[in-house]
């Protein structure tokens, strides 16, 4: 009855000229999984703290409990609209393919049969981005890891960060491109570190522009923990995102998160302020609601009460995995975001 009610509500919100329209629904999300490491020490990776003998006492029990918590959140994202939840989910802060193989086999989400797309990147912390996708909705055709060439702070060479994951495939028959990002942090200060995020944004922008040059209606999704807010220059100037759909031109990008941010809503908190780093933005091709394919409908932050810290310095913020070096039995220090796409059925 609950699913039927939600479906009816969706139909009612799209009644036109006295006639109800029926839609297929797709959920696309992003979630920073906050240091999802395995427990094995890899000499070439800075993962010592996330081992049983490390500072965090990161045992198998902690690892599997974290997977249980993350899978609960993932199992719920978007299910208020579609029972299958997220058809496409970008993730960040994962150590390797193995951690995601374990995650997608967790009881609460194993029936979705998520496939994992992940490349090892040269990040000094040993963390990567990845894509989880439900093959019922999305078929992967090609993928590539895009290197982000950051200059070293001391001019000694290249400073390594996370690569950008570029995936191309069919969403219910439509060709789409997905860029999963985790841009450089604000370490050293927002202003001082901004050029690094501009470089990271330019990596995706170069490919996006080449795709748009062929077809300005190309359907592109860029998502990630961008370490910048929707109003920062990386979003407004480098990517050229607009907060108003009516002002997005062919070849342009739409950012639905600006209004959230201006209202004081965010996905992570620091020093009594909210930031909205976890964004999903859409190209012009998704914005026409009268098209035959999928179109952008709505954006959401997923922040249920159980995911919120109740005590201490981080009260009111996302309930993180660790408090210092003590296991906090949390979920992530970021709330996930998700968007809803609709396609009219005849």
pTM for the complete prediction?
A: 0.93
What element of type H or E holds 132? strand 128-133
Task: Give the pairing of strands 138-146 and 164-171.
Answer: antiparallel
Beta bridge partners of 160: none
Average pLDDT, the chain: 92
CA–CA separation, 280 and 169 (whole Å): 18
Whether 193 contacts 186, CB under 8 Å: yes
**Confidence at residue 13, expressed as pLDDT on a 0 to 100 scale:** 45
Buried b (16+ CB within 10 A) or exposed e, 208-241: beebbeeeebbbbbbbbbbbbbbebebbbebbbb
pLDDT at 18: 52
Q: What structural domains does the chain harbor?
A: 2-345 (3.60.10.10)
Q: Which two tokens stand for residue 245?
A: 């759909």
The predicted-structure confidence for 65-115, as pLDDT tens digits, reads as follows 999 999 999 999 999 999 999 999 999 999 999 999 999 999 999 999 999
Spatial neighbors of 223 by CB under 8 A, at least 6 apart, are 28, 30, 90, 178, 179, 180, 181, 279, 280, 281
Angle between helices 60-76 and 97-104 (to 10 degrees): 60
Q: What are phi and psi for residue 282, nearest 5 degrees?
A: -125, 145
Contact 63, 38 (CB under 8 A): yes
Residues found in the chain: 346
273-331 residue pLDDT tens: 999 999 999 999 999 999 999 999 999 999 999 999 998 888 999 999 999 899 999 99
d(CA 159, CA 79): 40
């Amino acid at each position: 009855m609950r699913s039927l009610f939600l479906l009816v509500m969706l139909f009612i919100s799209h009644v036109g000229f006295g006639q109800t329209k029926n839609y297929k629904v797709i959920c696309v999300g992003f979630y920073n999984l906050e240091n999802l490491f395995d427990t094995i020490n890899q000499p070439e990776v800075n993962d010592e703290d996330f081992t049983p003998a490390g500072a965090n006492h990161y045992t198998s029990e902690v690892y599997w409990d974290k997977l249980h918590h993350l899978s609960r959140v993932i199992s719920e994202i978007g299910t208020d609209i579609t029972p299958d939840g997220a058809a496409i989910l970008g993730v960040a802060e994962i150590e390797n393919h193995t951690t995601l193989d374990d995650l997608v086999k967790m009881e609460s989400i194993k029936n979705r049969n998520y496939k994992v797309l992940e490349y090892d990147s040269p990040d000094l912390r040993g963390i990567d981005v990845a894509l989880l996708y439900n093959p019922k909705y999305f078929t992967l055709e090609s993928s590539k890891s895009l290197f982000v060439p950051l200059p070293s702070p001391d001019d000694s060479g290249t400073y390594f960060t996370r690569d950008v994951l570029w995936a191309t495939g069919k969403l219910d028959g439509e060709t789409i491109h997905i860029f999963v990002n985790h841009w450089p942090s604000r370490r050293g200060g927002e202003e001082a570190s901004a050029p690094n995020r501009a470089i990271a944004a330019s990596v995706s922008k170069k490919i996006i522009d080449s795709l748009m040059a062929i077809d300005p209606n190309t359907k592109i999704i860029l998502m990630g923990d961008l370490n910048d807010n929707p109003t920062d220059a990386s979003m407004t100037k480098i990517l050229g995102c607009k907060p108003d759909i009516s002002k997005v031109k062919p070849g342009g990008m739409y950012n639905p998160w600006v209004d959230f941010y201006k209202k004081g809503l965010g996905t992570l908190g620091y020093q009594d302020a909210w930031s909205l780093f976890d964004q999903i933005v859409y190209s012009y091709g998704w914005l026409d609601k009268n098209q035959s394919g999928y179109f952008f409908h709505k954006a959401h932050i997923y922040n249920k009460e159980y995911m919120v810290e109740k005590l201490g310095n981080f009260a009111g913020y996302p309930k993180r995995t660790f408090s210092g070096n003590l296991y906090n039995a949390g979920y992530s220090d970021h709330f996930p975001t998700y968007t809803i796409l609709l396609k009219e059925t005849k």
